[in-house]
Structure 1
């Protein structure tokens, strides 16, 4: 693995965990229908973060494109999570923002 990607890898793994935690907690909220878009984006974001981590660790020739997409999805997930007052959503939004920033910085 290229060591220049260590910060992004760490951010992706932390975001993956935050999204999975948020996803699980959203499913337990009283109004699950209201949380549908948050749940959907948590899944998308967790999946792209996992895929980005895999691309980084196997030194994929597509890493730059994958982390650019990861940043885009993380930003969208952060926007959605930030709309909800639940602690798990706010923590997820922050983690997504950090991951998007790390991805953008690395892809630049």
Structure 2
């Protein structure tokens, strides 16, 4: 792949990662479990991308986090806030609308 294509692919994925992460936080997840869930669906995300994204989502009040210290290794769990649930549903709807429109545009290339 050329450097330009890599750059454009990264740009294309950037916005979709937020929606992908939000979709998996309807139930509490810690970082590694979130990475695994996303990978099972074919979405790879580096921890160097994931944790800053989770911190940003928390700062935007879309997710909340709590520490679980009941096991030998403490884990920080993230889950959608009430506001996050609302925003997630709106983003999901917007994604469905946009992806349908894009599908129609791309289909017209045949």
* TM-score after normalising by structure 2: 0.31
Judging by fraction of residues, say which structure has more strand: 2
Larger RCO (alpha carbons 8 Å, 6+ apart): 1
Q: Look at both structures and tell me which one has the larger radius of gyration over its CA atoms.
A: 2
TM-score (norm 1): 0.32
